[in-house]
Amino acid sequence: MGFVKEFKDFAIKGNVVDLAVAVVIGGAFGKIVTSLVDDIITPGILTPALKKANLQNLSELVIPGTAIKYGSFLSNVISFFIIALALFIVIKGINSLKKKEVEAPAAPAEPSSTDKLLMEIRDSLKK
């Protein structure tokens, strides 16, 4: 009985539920970033370069006489750098928002009981 109860406590705790939610949201965010890169950014960057090279698709770049498709590799490398840049910009924006929240000045701390006692002694000595 103890094992089942421990497992239930573990599975129901917020940590596991938070992790599950993070995985689902991360997967959805990954699809958004992939779509942004594959459908918007990469074609905008690669289309002019491919037209200059008289190519329709980057995967057409192969080493003649071999099965080495260096065009696909280049496409994946470019996609990686674009995804990394997009994530960097998003995380930098989130971090700047967090800093603004943290930078709000805190209320001055109330003096401790010792400080209050010393202030009372000081004030009585002044009198």
Tens-digit pLDDT profile for residues 87-102: 788 788 888 887 776 6
Distance CA 111, CA 119 (A): 10
How many CA within 13 A on the CB side of residue 44? 6
Distance CA 83, CA 34 (A): 8
Taking residues 98-116, what's their average pLDDT?
Answer: 74
For residue range 6-48, list pLDDT tens digits in order: 877 777 776 777 777 788 888 888 888 778 777 887 777 777 7
2-126: CATH number: 1.10.1200
Residue 72's contacts (CB-CB under 8 Å, 6 or more residues apart) are: 58, 59
Taking residues 117-121, what's their average pLDDT?
Answer: 87
Distances in Å between the alpha carbon of 16 and those of 9, 26, 38, 63, 92?
Answer: 10, 15, 33, 49, 27
**What is residue 50's DSSP assignment?**
H
Q: Please give the model's pTM, rounded to 2 decimal places.
A: 0.45
Residue 111's contacts (CB-CB under 8 Å, 6 or more residues apart) are: 119
Structure tokens at 75: 């496409």
Main-chain phi, psi angles of 67, to 5 degrees: -100, 15
Alpha-carbon torsion 8, 10, 14, 17, what sign?
A: negative
